[in-house]
């Protein structure tokens, strides 16, 4: 019974981590593609590139905050 609960807990943790990673990585990937396309134009739209970089920065900060939260949790006393 205890082993089954532990497996269920790990599955839930893995789902949460995967969800959070995908929430940040999908937009980062999409924005990197868009930014590359805009940067390749004869006259790149600097405003669009600024928004692309700002959003990538924001998603990366969110991901760092999420990972830091798990790291703090892992350091809790038994």
Q: Is the pTM of this model over 0.85?
A: no
| Calpha distance 31→29 (Å, rounded) | 6
pLDDT tens readout for residues 17-68: 899 889 889 999 999 999 999 999 999 999 999 999 999 999 999 999 988 9
The CA-based dihedral angle spanning residues 30, 70, 6, 16, taken in that order and rounded to the nearest 10 degrees: -20
Take residue 15 and report the two structure tokens written for it: 């789902």
Rg, C-alpha atoms of the chain: 18
Task: Provide φ and ψ at 22, rounded to 5°.
Answer: -65, -35
Q: How confident is the model at residue 78 (pLDDT cuts 50, 70, 90)?
A: low
């Amino acid at each position: 019974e205890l082993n089954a609960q532990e497996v269920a807990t790990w599955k839930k943790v893995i789902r949460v981590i995967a969800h959070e990673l995908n929430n940040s990585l999908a937009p980062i990937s999409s924005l990197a593609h868009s930014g590359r396309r805009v940067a390749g134009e004869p006259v790149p739209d600097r405003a669009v590139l600024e928004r692309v970089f700002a959003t990538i920065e924001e998603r990366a900060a969110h991901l760092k905050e999420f990972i830091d939260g798990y790291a703090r949790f892992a350091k809790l006393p038994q």
